[in-house]
Amino acid sequence: MSGPEERVILLDDDGSPLGAALKSEVHGEATPLHLAFSCYVVDAQRDRLLLTRRALTKKTWPGTWTNTFCGHPEPFEPIPEAVHRRAEQELGLQIRDLQLVLPDFRYRAVDASGIVENEICPVYAAVIDSEVTPDPAEVMQTQWSRPEHLLQGIESTPWAFSPWMVDQIREMVALPSSSMISWGLEVAR
């Protein structure tokens, strides 16, 4: 038996909450601005990023390579709690050392089907020590990648990756090297 349908937090242009709506009713050709998050997971040695390939059944960007996982906080749910919840739901992961990397990331992108993503989407990084057990309804493939290889892939074939990930990685390259996620991104500077 499934739980209640997922809701998203609607936002005004300044990022202030306006209310909530069912996720299934929000994403379309005129998607309103709403709150989301992205997370990048690194291994315990922090020398590889876990990438995922979106399931072919996903409504937007099916089969596209992207960051480890994304999601939407429920109304009144702190974003870090939502990140932990989604890590478990989508990939069976227990994450640790959660770090906010890009607090103000915002994007709008249109899928080939015409569906719009329009999100204020803080970006996090976390560490795992465990095995990945993806939910096949969400993820069709996982791949560990060295940062320099990911950067080479984004530069040569940006269309193979989600548009939000391409923009996020480009912003993360500029982060100070003290950031967990930027440890290897300075390789391509």
Catalytic: 148? Answer: no
Strand partners, 136: none
The dihedrals phi and psi of 120, each to the nearest 5 degrees, come to -90, 120
Say which of 70, 90, 117, 138 is annotated catalytic.
70
Say which of 39, 90, 117, 119 is annotated catalytic.
119
Q: How far apart are the first and last CA of the chain?
A: 49
Q: Kind and range of the H or E element at 101? A: strand 96-102
Catalytic: 70? Answer: yes
**Nearest CA among 108, 116, 83, 104 for reference residue 15:** 104
Residues with catalytic roles: 70, 119
